[in-house]
Amino acid sequence: MKFFVDTADTAEIKSLASSGLLDGVTTNPSLVAKTGKKFTEIIREICAIVAGPVSAEVAATDYDGMMREAYVLREIAKNVTIKVPLTPDGLRACNRLTGDGTMVNVTLCFSAAQALLAAKAGASFVSPFVGRLDDVGESGMALIADIMQIYNAYHFKTEVLVASVRSPMHVVEAAKLGAHVATLPPPVLRSLFNHPLTDKGLAAFLADWGKTGQTIA
């Protein structure tokens, strides 16, 4: 499973990229707004930090507007992935852009039927939002299971990018279902490292090592 980080904060991205565990980045207009910085500059900076796909979302909602913005964004760097909403115009833009060899992430996916459309439009990634579904009393993970079943049945090349991830359990459940990518807010990515028995075990080992009086050299 690939790990993307879901943030536009370049300091966070730099820090997480140094772990060697980061495969890509997703941003959205809300995350960009939080930074107070110019969108195209942020994307340029992120693409210089991370070699993998970096999702940059169009703001237009009509086909022509999306295409105009996509042409600007994809010029920034080779690893820019154009993020379009799961609408008829968004899927039309997806079809056109992927036909040109541009990576496209179809976002705001909330149903298996929508995911089927995204795959048929040739999306590189589809982003089902698991946390937002859980928030309204539906099962985000049941959606991932449905999409994986459909995509596997037809050998679609579209990668399932699990989004709106809120906890390590979302990551583990998605991995068990074989989802290709999870995009994680930085705190969730960091929390994957944690287990109290790891901390306790390490403290005990260090204490015992101290008793040996040795150094490794």
What is the C-alpha to C-alpha distance for residues 152 and 40, in angstroms, rounded to an integer?
A: 36
Question: Smallest distance, Å, CB 131 to ligand E4P?
Answer: 5
- Which CB, 26 or 114, lies closer to ligand E4P? 26
Given a contact cutoff of 8 angstroms between Cβ atoms, the answer to whether 20 and 50 are in contact is: no
Interaxial angle between packed helices 63-74 and 88-99, expressed in degrees from 0 to 180 and rounded to the nearest 10 = 40
- Which CB, 67 or 165, lies closer to ligand E4P? 165
Question: Smallest distance, Å, CB 74 to ligand E4P?
Answer: 18
Would residue 34 show up in a list of annotated catalytic residues for this protein? no
Helix H segments across the chain?
10-17, 29-35, 39-49, 63-74, 88-99, 112-120, 130-135, 140-154, 168-176, 186-191, 196-212
Q: For the chain, how far is it from start to end, CA to CA, in angstroms?
A: 37
What is the C-alpha to C-alpha distance for residues 98 and 65, in angstroms, rounded to an integer?
A: 17
Q: Which of 83, 120, 157, 200 is catalytic?
A: 83
Q: Which residues of 2-17 are buried (b: 16+ CB within 10 A; e: fewer)?
A: bbbbbbbbbebbeebb
- Which CB, 54 or 119, lies closer to ligand E4P? 54
Cα–Cα nearest to 166, from 187, 137, 151: 187
Question: Smallest distance, Å, CB 202 to ligand E4P?
Answer: 32
Return residues touching ligand E4P (CB under 6 A).
6, 26, 28, 107, 127, 129, 131-132, 163-164, 183
- Which CB, 129 or 155, lies closer to ligand E4P? 129
What is the C-alpha to C-alpha distance for residues 83 and 73, in angstroms, rounded to an integer?
A: 10
- Which CB, 108 or 121, lies closer to ligand E4P? 108
**What positions carry a catalytic annotation?**
83
